[in-house]
Amino acid sequence: PSGAEARAAVRAALGRGDSESGPAPRSEPVVLASGNLGLVSFPDVPHRMTKEEIDARHPALLPTLANHPGIGFLLIRSAEHDGVVLGPCGTEIPLAELDERPGPLARFGPGAIDAVRRAHAFPHTADIMVNSWHDPATGQIHAFEEQIGSHGGLGGAQSRPFLLSPLTLSVPAEHGEALTGAERVHGVLRRWLGELNGPEVPLDADPERRAA
């Protein structure tokens, strides 16, 4: 499904029509897309909403999204379980039980469970994290935005990133060690910069000298 189709599914679950004209009420959710990852937030709520709160406000929203054929799973905060993964047919798995019951994450391969738990731990994670469907046999995913490539979620070739570097630089990570997260990659790039005696940023702390 395209980004427009994904937004239409959210509007339908919220009981709204297709019209987007006029000022949005405070309770209107913000729906963003990053490749095959969708992010739904409720700006009028000062905290990350729980599944229980979302169900009370929009009872049809989470079941509609979780059962959509183009969606693989949802990541939601839970008052009872801290965090849960939702899938089709009423699947609901607490994050603490994913190692024993990966549920819809099984088709996303090694590292998916750790990635979901890591995303859940971020301080500004969206109220509803939506990951698209994924076919492990072909690597096909559904992007929520009209782009030629896709990144942001789990599934497909984006799940196998790599660093290409000259042999004169140190190896990014020891053999068998996972290089996970932007923080780790940033550390590698800073190390390489030091090995090359490259410039540090900012180059000059004096803004007047930079302007000159």
**In degrees rounded to 5, what are phi and psi of residue 70?**
-90, 0
Report the pLDDT averaged over residues 40-51: 94
C-alpha to C-alpha distance for 145 and 150, rounded to whole angstroms:
8
The region of weakest confidence among 46-55, 81-90, 149-158 is 149-158
pLDDT at 69 over 60: yes
pLDDT of residue 16: 58
pLDDT of residue 81: 93
Report the pLDDT averaged over residues 120-142: 92
pLDDT at 1 over 70: no
Give the chain's mean pLDDT. 84
Question: What's the predicted TM-score (pTM) here?
Answer: 0.78
pLDDT of residue 24: 47
pLDDT at 129 over 90: yes
pLDDT at 13 over 80: no
C-alpha to C-alpha distance for 128 and 59, rounded to whole angstroms:
14
The region of weakest confidence among 29-33, 57-61, 112-116, 120-124 is 29-33
C-alpha to C-alpha distance for 60 and 15, rounded to whole angstroms:
8
As to burial, measured by CB atoms within 10 angstroms (0-12 exposed, 13-18 middle, 19+ buried), residue 13 is middle
pLDDT of residue 56: 94
